[in-house]
């Protein structure tokens, strides 16, 4: 892989080009755009040839090294990669056509552990060079908050403030982000995820606030959260059996995950098609059909982490394909799955194949099933992004079966949440941030 230095420009085109370090610390560009690499490194033939024999840490290091561009010493970067992927990513066959890449074997049982662990360790390195304390400000629709809270817990020189929509995350998700204490604070917002995300974006654009404190984001808008999500696509291909490239179905909300997979594809990872699996928040399907993007108010569903009506990372997909709608439409299909079909899918797959899906995985499964009905000679896999126990109320009601509680969750259920309730008003958020010690 070519390791020449990569820089990052803003998708809005009105901010200076920066290094990986500065893009990580800033989170969002000053002109409110998202940082994007000025080139996409290409995988070497040698790398792809030895992929199946490499360790997870070796793959992660080789994939991410060009993006970090010497901002972290190789030995330290390799250590960060080892810690980031220090758990399993098994590809399990559900039936003859569909497999499941399980991304829930990390500490908070969700795919976002990868990005959060990588970013926290990078920011920990960079904060040592900062005289001013760094405040990580993040909005979550579910799993981002718990993964970020766990990844940053106890990181010196970094405070974390998490905004989440009241009553719109699962019990386990809420406990994971509200019970840690130390340098982690949870703000329970009386609104939607889109409200939380809008408040975070407004904070970054508020020069009066950013002059007083050093803010960065740990949402997938941050390059250090987004880029390492490529890793598990490589781990899937490492385990993939057969000569044909797979179809990959990704449950999609804020689009950071699928955009990372598309980045890996453009780098040269062999894939045949991506399926963007949406719940009733289906603005992407409208874009594919019309070439026009029209954000909508988010609709609450049982696959709550995907309840996003204005996905931030959509602009990165446009950048990746030079705003070429036809090229995007050739590579990406999309299906919208409502709650009734999601529930039917969880029940059906459990009954027929003895495999338990969480609601997000069920959306991905049904979308891939629809695609494969149109192209029956193909095979693929879904990204199973969270352990079903994180949505136990929904899944147990559908299947009639009690979910075995993993050890990492058992102790959490007896703890009391600690959150501060605020209105979905930017003034409330700013008042809290200004008052922080």
Q: Does residue 2 have a pLDDT over 70?
A: no
pLDDT in tens, 116-145: 999 999 988 887 777 778 899 989 877 778
Region 215-226: what's the mean pLDDT?
87
Domain 89-111+226-404 fold is Rossmann fold (3.40.50)
* Burial label, 324 (beta-carbon count in 10 A; 0-12, 13-18, 19+): exposed
Distance CA 115, CA 145 (A): 12
Region 314-333: what's the mean pLDDT?
96
Among candidate residues 40, 425, 35, the one with its CA nearest the CA of residue 216:
35
**What confidence tier does 268 reach under pLDDT thresholds 50, 70, 90?**
very high
Q: Does residue 1 have a pLDDT over 70?
A: no
Distance CA 410, CA 250 (A): 29
Average pLDDT, the chain: 92
| Contact criterion met (CB below 8 Å) for 335 and 366 | yes
Bridge partner list, 328: none
Structural domain spans, the chain: 89-111+226-404
Distance CA 206, CA 33 (A): 14
H-helix segments, 332-391: 339-353, 359-374
**What confidence tier does 4 reach under pLDDT thresholds 50, 70, 90?**
low
| Contact criterion met (CB below 8 Å) for 253 and 387 | no
Say which residue, 234 or 138, is predicted with more confidence.
234
Q: Does residue 196 have a pLDDT over 80?
A: yes
**DSSP states of 190-254:** ES-HHHHHHHHHHHHH-HHHHTTSEEEE-STTSHHHHGGGGHHHHHHHHH--SSSPPEEEEE-SS
Region 360-370: what's the mean pLDDT?
98
pLDDT given at position 129: 74
pLDDT given at position 157: 81
Task: Specify whether 128 is catalytic.
Answer: no
> How many residues are recorded in the chain?
437
Region 196-201: what's the mean pLDDT?
91
Pairing of strands 380-384, 247-251: parallel
**Number of helices (H), then strands (E), in the chain:** 20, 13
pLDDT given at position 169: 86
Please tell me which residue in 65, 112, 201, 390 is annotated as part of the active site.
112
Sign of CA dihedral 217, 88, 62, 13: negative
pLDDT in tens, 49-86: 999 999 999 999 999 999 998 899 999 999 999 999 99
DSSP summary character for residue 304: G
Q: Does residue 148 have a pLDDT over 80?
A: yes
pTM for the full predicted model = 0.88
């Amino acid at each position: 892989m070519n390791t020449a230095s990569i820089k990052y420009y803003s998708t809005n085109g009105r901010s200076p080009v920066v290094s990986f370090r500065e893009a990580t610390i800033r989170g969002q560009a000053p002109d409110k755009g998202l940082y994007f690499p000025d080139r996409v490194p290409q995988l070497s033939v040698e790398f792809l040839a030895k992929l199946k024999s490499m360790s997870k840490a070796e793959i992660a290091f080789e994939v991410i090294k060009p993006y970090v561009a010497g901002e972290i010493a190789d030995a330290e970067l390799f250590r960060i990669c080892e810690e980031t992927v220090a758990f399993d990513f098994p590809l399990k066959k559900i039936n003859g056509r569909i497999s499941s890449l399980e991304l829930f074997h990390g500490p908070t049982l969700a795919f976002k552990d990868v990005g959060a662990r990588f970013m926290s360790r990078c920011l920990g390195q960079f904060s040592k060079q900062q005289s001013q304390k760094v405040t990580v400000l993040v909005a979550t629709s579910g799993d981002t908050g718990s993964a970020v809270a766990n990844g940053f817990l106890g990181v010196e020189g970094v405070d974390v403030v998490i905004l989440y929509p009241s009553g719109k995350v699962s019990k386990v998700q809420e406990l994971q982000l509200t019970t840690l204490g130390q340098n982690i604070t949870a703000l329970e917002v009386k609104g939607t995820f889109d409200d939380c995300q809008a408040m975070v974006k407004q904070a970054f654009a508020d020069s009066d606030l950013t002059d007083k404190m050093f803010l960065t984001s740990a949402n997938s808008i941050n390059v250090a959260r987004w880029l390492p999500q490529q890793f598990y696509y490589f781990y899937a291909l490492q385990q993939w059996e057969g000569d044909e490239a797979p179809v990959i179905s990704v449950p999609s909300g804020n689009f950071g995950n699928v955009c990372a997979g598309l980045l890996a594809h453009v780098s040269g990872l062999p894939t045949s098609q991506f399926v963007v699996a949406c719940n009733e928040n289906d603005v992407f399907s409208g874009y594919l059909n019309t070439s026009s993007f029209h954000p909508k108010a988010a609709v609450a569903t049982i696959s709550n982490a995907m309840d996003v009506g204005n996905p931030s990372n959509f602009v990165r997909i446009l950048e990746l394909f030079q705003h070429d709608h036809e090229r995007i439409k050739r590579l990406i299909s999309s299906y919208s799955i409502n709650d009734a079909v999601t529930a039917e899918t969880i029940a059906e797959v459990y009954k027929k194949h003895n495999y338990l899906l969480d609601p997000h995985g069920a959306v991905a499964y049904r979308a891939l099933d629809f695609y494969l009905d149109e192209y029956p000679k193909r095979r693929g896999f879904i990204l199973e992004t969270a352990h079903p126990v994180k949505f136990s109320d929904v899944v147990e009601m559908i299947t009639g079966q009690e979910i075995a509680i993993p050890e990492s969750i058992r102790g959490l259920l007896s703890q009391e949440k600690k959150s501060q309730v605020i209105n979905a008003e930017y003034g409330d958020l700013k008042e809290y941030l200004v008052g922080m010690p």
